Amino acid sequence: MKNYEIVIIGAGPAGSMAAQAAAAAGKKTALIERNEKPSMPVRCGEGIGRKGLATTLEPQKQWIKSGITRARMISPSGIKVEIGNVDQSWILDRQTMDFDLVKQAVKAGADFFPSTTIVSAQKKTNGLYHCIGQDKEFTANCLILADGVESRIARCFGWDTALKLSDIETCAFARVTSPLIDQECCSFYTGGQVAPGGYAWIFPRGGAQANVGLGVIGSKCKAGLPKELLTRFIELRFPNSEVSHLHCGGVPVGRWIRPLVKEGVMLAGDAARQVNAINGAGIAYSLYAGKLAGETAAKALNKGTINHKILLKYQKQWAKNFGKQQDRSFALKEFIMNVGDGFLDRIANSLARENPEKISYLRVFTRTFATKPTLLLKAFKLFK
Amino acid sequence: MNLLKNKRKNLTKKNQRIKIDFSNCDRCGTCVSVCGADVITLAAQLHIDNKKCVLCQKCVTVCPFGALAAVEEEFI
Ligand SMILES: Cc1cc2nc3c(=O)[nH]c(=O)nc-3n(C[C@H](O)[C@H](O)[C@H](O)COP(=O)(O)OP(=O)(O)OC[C@H]3O[C@@H](n4cnc5c(N)ncnc54)[C@H](O)[C@@H]3O)c2cc1C
Ligand code: SF4
Ligand code: SF4
pLDDT in tens, A204-240: 999 999 999 999 999 999 999 999 999 999 999 999 9
Give residue limits of the domains in chain B: 2-72
Mean pLDDT of chain B: 86
Asked if A225 and B36 come within 8 Å (Cβ–Cβ), the reply is no
Task: Count CB-CB contacts under 10 A for residue B61.
Answer: 20
For residues A354-374, average pLDDT: 74
Could you give all domains of chain A from N- to C-terminal order, each with its CATH number?
2-43+94-163+255-331 (3.50.50.60), 47-93+164-252 (3.30.9.10), 332-382 (no CATH)
Backbone angles phi, psi at A228, to 5 degrees: -60, -50
Q: Which of A118, A157, A163, A164 to mutate to test the interface with B (most CBs of B within 10 A)?
A: A163
Among the partner-chain residues B35, B38, B64, the one whose CB lies closest to the CB of A172 is B64
A269 alpha carbon – ligand 1 mean position (Å): 8
A120: nearest CA partner in chain B:
B41
Confidence grade of residue A377 (pLDDT, cut at 50, 70, 90): low
Q: Which atom of ligand 1 is nearest to the CA of A283?
A: 11
**Of the partner residues B29, B34, B44, the one whose CB lies closest to the CB of residue A162:** B34
pLDDT grade, residue A344 (50/70/90)?
Answer: confident
Q: How far apart are CA A259 and CA A261, in angstroms?
A: 5
Ligand 1 neighbour A14 (Cβ under 6 A) = yes
Binned at pLDDT 50, 70 and 90, residue A364 comes out as confident
Mean model confidence pLDDT for chain A: 93
Residue A129 has pLDDT above 80, yes or no: yes
- For the stretch A236-271, pLDDT in tens is 999 999 999 999 999 999 999 999 999 999 999 999
For domain B2-72, give its CATH number from 3.30.70.20, 3.40.228.10, 3.30.2350.10, 3.50.50.60. Answer: 3.30.70.20
Reported confidence tier of residue A379, pLDDT bands at 50, 70, 90: low
| Best CA proximity match to A213, nearest among A200, A203, A226 | A200
Distance CA B69, CA B63 (A): 10
Query: Could you tell me the maximum CA-CA distance found in chain A, to the nearest angstrom?
Result: 67
Judge if the beta carbon of residue B18 lies within 6 A of ligand 3.
yes
Contact A149 B62 (CB under 8 A): no
Confidence band (pLDDT; 50, 70, 90) for A351?
Answer: confident
